[in-house]
Chain A
């Protein structure tokens, strides 16, 4: 049936930085694949129609088209809910559609009509749909990244179990504010996911001309990253699901101590929750239930607590404490259920046991006790924020004022169309799994064309904004202030 689970391999494996990549095997269903196909076809048709409307001078100013990149928007949407937030740059038409916007709102906005998603006042680059968790639509390169981290701050502050995806291009990836925002997001453990839509060209500029390192998923340094085939909608879905779970993870100790666990490594039967570099005040851990007292009894006597880890091994839970003094580092292992206490020490990594390489060394000692055959060299500090790099491609130029052909070859574009097109990939999957027929898929495409044409006709009927709208929404509360037109003796209005 259409709801039966299918498992499909992603086109290529994920490449990861500072984290264990998710599995290549993605779960989906026939109906999901069909909706992917339908949504992407509709988007493709919508953007091509926008291209024509622009050339017919019905759309003005800047207009950035998303055709080629559809799998990123659609795959991401399938992994999250409308309570998660999305914020992007000016290439925003399809993201708006994903978040529940309609074609009529899109075309009306593009043509500056009253029925547009911003009542004709925003234009191509400024689509919003707050009720669908879509916060725009931003025209300043890179600005949406700290804004998205701010949304994540709000989510954490309100204790909402949701995350924010901030999308930016490879051009914006070099902006200073990305690194400022990422640093704060990591420092404050915010549920922020940065998504670099790497379509390989900034405005007329190939990525190698603007980025010393085009491995954008690695550029968070301390932040984990994942490189994803952004032309494969299932890979995007898997990556976004992984990122969201990663960002929301709370270890048992996080619960115990009333704050989020910073890291999780899962390796077979073993899970490790890295909590915090220092807990000078263990009394901070209050909201606990049964485990609290035991925890307190074990730890309070440890003078210089440096690193604290909660370990779950084969269902057993226990705490690991690292502390150091005068060149020695100690580990205490406190299996929660056994009540046993192991102690070992290791030399040679300075007085600070919080040194991560030292932790890795000490972990290997620990494993003798746990009799686990897991290598621990890859233990790294993992934080909540994560960077996803979506390897994607835009068929159109940067905007309508860029023909998109001066800095790349036509062969390159047609090569991507033939080999990596996100819609064609889903079409092949659907046919290979006998989910639908070629004819049915063609009918879906025809239907999309009809839907788009109807929406354009309706949008054309929509009125242009009333002149009085010039003065609306300047403020939420206008305080009765008088504002004026170009000739203040002629046009005056009281701001609502």
Chain B
């Protein structure tokens, strides 16, 4: 059976709202919460003014009181208006209060580049939120991820930042009966090996998982067996799965849409150098968004976000050293 990511998210919200009356949601621009207002009523599905600092703070306060709000940002770019509440009011309260004030809340919405929306609407915030203790940060790729991780996020007692991708909403993925079961839930902090391989490890999250899988197909034809890891969780980061894979393949390519400096790839690279330095047969390769604000023009935009061929090239470089190190230096 096939299911779109949109329907996966919608059904996960629906099931969790029906299971727990403390869970509430807001209507959305991208129809993720379609039908929920009609079903659960305006007490639980609230339309808000476009005032992120206000409604995010209110969501966090409601979570202090024991409700389980799901706060939707039309996109995570607008969460910048409210990042103070995500970081200072949500992430740190349990710690500062020595466990008195827990914050069971989910912040969700599309993150990263969509198509042609320019620099202020294309930012990937995975590494920003991923660097903050007290937050849990999830990034689903498939419909299975979307359902299992959103349900896990809502059930979790801590603040969870849930990074979706607008371009994936309409994509369909096969789903098993297990995934469709209302009890289905994925563990937070566990990566998924989407494809096993032995020559090179490729890590990716969200939309880039699809790109990495396409790259692996191309590499396969050229005799390179790539292992593709879908991170699923940015924080906690599944360091053990990543390191175990690198110890097997001895090579690593990290892929993300966000900027390279202090990025998710940088953290993965550090982890592998710390834990598995002796296993590496080649320098770690990082594929990331270009280190520039997102340009509007389509040709430039394409150059600014990672493409399948970038991943293929980096993997080959790691395996064959197509560019000699001396020459590169």
Contacts and interface: CB of A to CB of B under 8 A. Distances in A.
Most buried by B among A87, A153, A187: A153
Contacts of B95: 121, 473-474
Given A181-B57, A473-B98, A155 B85 contact: no
Contacts of B63: 150
Given A85-B65, A154-B65, A128 B49 contact: no
Interface in B87-113: 88-89, 93-102, 104
B61 A475 contact: no
Interface in B42-81: 43, 46, 48-49, 51, 53-67
Interface in B129-179: 133-134, 136, 156-158
B263 interface: no
A151 B64 contact: yes
B101 A153 contact: no
B101 A181 contact: no
A481 B95 CA distance: 16
A216 interface: no
Interface in A62-85: 85
Nearest to B239: A482
Given A118-B97, A135-B64, A184-B49, A143 B102 contact: no
B49 A477 contact: no
A157 B62 contact: yes
A184 B62 contact: no
A119 interface: yes
Interface in A402-422: none
Contacts of B134: 474-475
B234 to A, nearest CB: 12
Nearest to B190: A479
Most buried by A among B46, B89, B94: B89
Interface in A134-187: 135-140, 143, 145-155, 157-158, 176-177, 179-181, 183-184, 187
Contacts of A119: 98
Interface in A377-425: none
Interface string B277-315: 000000000000000000000000000000000000000
**What size tier do the contact residues of chain B reach?**
35 or more
A146 B61 contact: yes
Contacts of B210: none
Contact of B60 (A118, A150, A183, A481): A150
A481 B53 contact: no
Most buried by A among B51, B58, B102: B58
A147 B64 contact: yes
A186 to B, nearest CB: 11
Contact of B89 (A138, A155, A482, A483): A138
Contacts of A283: none
Given A121-B95, A140-B84, A474-B94, A146 B101 contact: no
29 contacts: A119-B98, A121-B95, A121-B96, A128-B100, A129-B100, A136-B101, A143-B88, A149-B54, A150-B57, A151-B62, A151-B65, A153-B62, A154-B62, A154-B65, A154-B67, A157-B24, A177-B53, A177-B57, A180-B54, A181-B58, A183-B54, A187-B49, A473-B94, A475-B94, A475-B158, A476-B102, A476-B157, A476-B158, A479-B189
Interface of A: 85, 87, 117-119, 121-122, 126, 128-130, 135-140, 143, 145-155, 157-158, 176-177, 179-181, 183-184, 187-188, 472-477, 479, 481-483, 488-489
